[in-house]
Amino acid sequence: MQWSRPVRPGDELRVESEVLEVHASRSRPGQGMIKLRSTTLNQHGEPVMISVGNLVVRGRGVGPA
């Protein structure tokens, strides 16, 4: 996580997310990993925070765990 600008009370923030990678799990059928970059922008369209994280997700057509 990287904060590139300060955020002040009253700022309007929005988040944009981008999928960077998608991988099926080799050891757990029906699961996979998604690498996601989320960028938080202020009301001027300036990035104030960028984070990159990994999510464990269920595959398509896989029922509840």
Domain range summary for the chain, segments of one domain joined by +? 2-58
Residue 55's pLDDT is 94
Q: What is the mean pLDDT of each run of 10 residues along the chain (65 residues)?
A: 91 97 89 96 96 91 61
CATH fold for domain 2-58: Thiol Ester Dehydrase; Chain A (3.10.129)
Listed as own residue / partner, the contacts of 19-24 with beta carbons closer than 8 Å and 24 or more positions apart are: 20/52, 24/59
Residue 63's pLDDT is 63
Residue 28's pLDDT is 86
Residues 14, 15, 18: CA angle, nearest 5 degrees: 150
